[in-house]
Amino acid sequence: MKILLVGSGGREHALAWKMAQSDMVRELIAAPGNLGIAGESKCRVMRVSSDDIQGLLELARIEKPDLTVVGPEAPLVVGLTDLFVKNGLRVFGPSSAAALLEGSKVFSKELMRKFGIPSADFEIFSDVDHAVKYVNSTKFPLVVKADGLAAGKGVFVCDHCEQALAALDLIMKQKVFGAAGARVIVEECLEGEEASFIAFTDGITVMPLASSQDHKAISDNDKGPNTGGMGAYSPAPVVTPSAHKKIMNEVMLPTVKAMSTEGRPYVGFLYAGLMIKDDVPKVLEFNVRLGDPEAQPLLVRMKTDPIPLMLAALEGKLSRESIKWANDASVCVVMASQGYPAAYSKGKIISGIEEAEKVQGVKVFIAGANSSSDGVVTSGGRVLGVTSLGRDIPEAIQKAYEGVERISWEGVQYRRDIGQKALSRP
């Protein structure tokens, strides 16, 4: 088979690395891909942006992939799957109608309310004066969220009224997220520990991946602004067997059923970002794709070839499949550029990637790096995902950081506490 993979981050490098190992895959083309993907066997990259769905269709007409796999949310929300399917191409990823689950937080919150899926209480505002009046008269902490896609930057956890007013000003008056901020959600602030719960689904059957946990804040102990994710590990002990059961029965299965009832059948990866307290899960958000960086530890633990699972999902036959996981644990430490998640430096020479991969069980996934006449240089905010496989979380942590310590560039930043939450549980 020939695969077209859409995207260019660490998640896509991990997907390319995993899919290229499949006996079913003869060739993998990534658009636009990245340096890491270009270096994997069977893989090549084509310079078409992941947001340019017409350009991707042109590429697909030339390359004739047997299956297209979409990494990021943006092309799904704007209808890549619909366009490809209309042109007789097979895509693993939801239609734009289904991708609204991530594309509009208002849609996803109203769906959860209608179908009794546990989540934070909320109010929706399209008028800034009404929103200001509400936050002036309510209790804190609370969370202000822009409705649409905002590259992970549209959520503000506010301890005080001034912060909420500043968030409303940014979203609704300054319109920093454009149309994505035409409506806001003001919601209850949930307590507990977060987890990422991701599954394959064919619109009926939900086949969960192993549990994982992201580390969203830039600094140790979850301090500082939120990022796309500074590290992840799997499995995540906060997802106890009891929590797992509740997540499946109260969140994943009802959501897939609700989407079908609403005339938006959902096929693809479904990701629930959860807050879990005393084994009780509540949904923070849905994503219509694999998490990044969660994909990295998940895919290094996945023993099953994902291609037959994607094909079965597209045929509505996922219930016949099963998925196996390494008993080992995995940890991914993201190494980022100076300044990230705000404006960051680029073009810094990276040393030590090969040395890091000499640590047994370590794989370095590339998120934002390029080759230059000086060697490999930084080109993104999140640059590398140093991902390990170890007997258990402590061993995986130790290996990942052994890899990290062999890599350097000017201004590199990374968290020192990835995986520690797993160790603090009884």
Q: What is the binding site for ligand AMP (CB under 6 A)?
A: 120, 143, 145, 155, 157, 187-190, 194, 216, 226, 273, 284-285
Residue 102 binds to ligand GLY (criterion: CB under 6 A): no
Q: Smaller CB distance to ligand GLY: residue 94 or 352?
A: 94
Tell me the window of 38-46, 256-264, 287-295, 414-422 that interacts with ligand GLY (CB under 6 A): 287-295
Alpha-carbon span 248 to 265, nearest angstrom: 18
Q: Please, which residue, 117 or 366, has the CB nearer to ligand AMP?
A: 117
Report residue 170 as tokens. Answer: 């940014």
- Contacts by 59-65 with C-beta closer than 8 Å and gap 24+? 59/4, 59/29, 59/31, 60/4, 60/84, 60/87, 60/89, 61/87, 63/2, 63/4, 63/29, 64/2, 65/2, 65/3, 65/4, 65/29, 65/89
Residue 194 binding ligand GLY, by CB under 6 A: no
Q: Which is nearer to ligand GLY, 194 or 377 (CB)?
A: 194
Return the residue matching tokens 């086949």: 207
Beta-bridge partner residues of 287:
271
Tell me phi and psi for residue 131, to 5 degrees: -65, -45
Tell whether residue 419 is a contact of ligand GLY (CB under 6 A).
Answer: no
Residue from 75, 229, 361, 390 touching ligand GLY (CB under 6 A): that is: 229
Compare residues 33 and 291 and give the one whose CB is closer to ligand GLY.
291
Q: Applying CB under 6 A, does 287 fall inside the site for ligand GLY?
A: yes
The answer to whether the peptide bond before residue 297 is cis (omega within 30 degrees of 0) is: no
**Residue 190, binding choice from ligand AMP, ligand GLY, none, Cβ under 5 to 8 Å by partner class:** ligand AMP
Q: Please name which of 413, 414, 415, 408 lies closest in space to residue 349, comparing C-alpha atoms.
A: 408
DSSP tag of 197: E
287 binds, among ligand GLY, ligand AMP, none (CB under 5 to 8 A by kind): ligand GLY
Residue closer to ligand AMP by CB (options 27, 188) is 188
Which string of x and - marks every residue 290-309 that binds ligand GLY (by CB under 6 A)? -xx-x---------------
List residues near ligand GLY by CB under 6 A. 214, 228-229, 287, 291-292, 294
